[in-house]
Amino acid sequence: MGHPFFKNVYLLIGAGGLAVILLTMQDRGYSQTGRGTTQGNQTAPNAKAAAPFDPTGYWVSLITNNWRFRMVPPAKGDYAGLPISVAGKKIADAWDPARDEAAGNQCKYYGAASIMYQPTRLHITWQDDNTLRMDTDAGTQTRLFQFGNRTAPQGRSTWQGSSVAAWEARRANVGRGNNTAPSARYLKVTTTNMLPGYLRKNGVPYGESAVLTEYYDLFQEQDGTRMMFVTAVVQDPVNLEQRYIVISHFKKEPDGSKWDPTPCSARW
């Protein structure tokens, strides 16, 4: 066993094993060197550079559930599946689309708390290095997600409100050294300062104090299809008895050839 040949064999086996371990660890993401991570105490230069995935492009919603509440305006008084409160029901029972039109409020169902649950296409772009812009063809709305250490700005409320965004990680900053941050995995967006709007087209309300929290997950299927799932949580202690949670599905499209801007409608 003392023959040089065996020494070389031992050496090769040892080195090979070590290489396999290191490669496997890299595949598992333990190297912490991918996009969206921070290296040691260095912070990522901006939100665009730190993005763990590329959300830009055209996306189309797939309406495979709650279809009759989303694709067509449901009947007045149909609140099935919504944790509507007594106060909220009082407002919804008085829903009158003609009155909304007369008051110029035909976009009440196109606010941030409901626009993502609608049948729509999205066009997502980086407006600048720390602002993600999302346009919808349904209602021709624009949302701006502001990254950075910002607090929700005050001032005049809008349909889309003020959105503060961050790349977040599910896992804690544990193990593998104290200087490494966990890799970001999803986009979290918190929206406030919204004008009162509708969660459902038949007048189910959310108020100006409502808070919308969204979690964006992107996955790629084995056939190459890219999907984005948006988990939306609406908290409105006035109009809702508890938080309201729904998930919207979006499929990536190759281009904007099906982009079809349509104005807000209070009736359709």
d(CA 6, CA 203): 80
Neighbours of 36 (CB within 10 A): 18
> How many residues form the binding site for other proteins (CB under 8 A)?
78
Binds other proteins by CB under 8 A, chosen from 49, 245, 256, 263:
245
Query: Tell me, what DSSP letter sits at residue 108?
Result: G
Q: CA-CA distance, 266 to 268, in Å (whole number)?
A: 6
By rule CB under 8 A, what string of x and - marks binding of each residue 41-80 to other proteins?
-------------------xxxxxxxxx--xxxxxxxxxx
Q: Is 17 in the site for other proteins (CB under 8 A)?
A: yes
Residue 215 binds to other proteins (criterion: CB under 8 A): yes
141: which 2 tokens?
Answer: 């709305």
H/E/C letters for each residue in 103-137? CCCCCHHHCHHHHCCCCCEEEEEEEECCEEEEEEC
Region of 19-27, 37-45, 125-133, 144-152 interacting with other proteins (CB under 8 A): 19-27
**Which of 40, 45, 175, 263 forms a contact with other proteins (CB under 8 A)?**
175
Q: Please report which helix (H) or strand (E) contains residue 102, including its range.
A: helix 97-102
* Out of 48, 133, 226, 249, the residue judged to bind other proteins by CB under 8 A: 249
In the complex, minimum distance from the CB of residue 58 to other proteins, in angstroms, rounded to a whole number? 12
Task: Supply 93's token pair.
Answer: 């029972």
Binding mask 125-164 for other proteins (x = CB under 8 A): ------------xx--------------------------
Is 7 a residue that touches other proteins (CB under 8 A)?
Answer: yes
169 binds other proteins, rule: CB under 8 A: yes
Stretch binding other proteins (CB under 8 A), from 13-21, 106-114, 157-165, 189-197:
13-21
Phi/psi for 197 (5° steps) reads -145, -165
Who's near 145: CB < 8 A, 6+ residues apart? 131, 132, 133, 134, 163, 164, 165, 187, 189
Burial of 185 from C-beta contacts in 10 A (0-12 / 13-18 / 19+):
middle
CA distance 70 to 117: 7
113 belongs to the binding site for other proteins (CB under 8 A): no
* Cβ-based burial of 49 (10 A; exposed 0-12, middle 13-18, buried ≥19): exposed
Whether 205 and 88 have beta carbons less than 8 Å apart is answered as yes
Does 120 sit near other proteins (CB under 8 A)?
yes
Query: At its nearest, how many Å lie between other proteins and the CB of residue 145?
Result: 16
Q: Using CB under 8 A, which of 131, 183, 192, 193 touches other proteins?
A: 183
| Residue closer to other proteins, measured from CB, 182 or 205 | 182
Examine residue 241 and tell whether it contacts other proteins (CB under 8 A).
yes
Among 58, 109, 121, 134, binds other proteins (CB under 8 A): 121
Residue 82 found at the interface with other proteins (CB under 8 A): yes
Specify the residue, 140 or 225, whose C-beta has the smaller distance to other proteins.
225
